[in-house]
Amino acid sequence: MKTLISLPKIVVDQGAVPYIVNGASVMIPGIVNIDSQIKKNDYVVIVDEKHQKPLAVGIALMDAEKVLKEKKGKAVKNLHYIGDRYWDAFAK
């Protein structure tokens, strides 16, 4: 079983944080860095730019290469986020 630390990482800007921790999908404009190995349907961890703390776990909706080329759209479907009823069990 993968832990959060071993999942590929997507870094988002501080403006995206409040939305992501409320369950929103990760939008391309909010991404500041992405693991180049990410492929569509991979599980990923979303972290904030300032502290590099895990905010959510999601499924990539496209490859990292495509995320870097696109200007808008959804990049990650948010599955679990800080404060949801599964976070404490999943984030260990």
- The CATH number covering residue 12 comes to 2.30.130.10
Tell me what percent of the residues of the chain surpass a pLDDT of 90.
Answer: 82
Q: What is the pLDDT of residue 4?
A: 63
Bigger pLDDT: 1 vs 58: 58
DSSP annotation of 24: P
Range of the domain at 29: 4-84
Structural domain includes residue 35: yes
* Residue-wise pLDDT tens digits, 29-61: 999 999 999 999 999 999 999 999 999 999 999
Q: pTM of the entire structure?
A: 0.89
Structural domain includes residue 70: yes
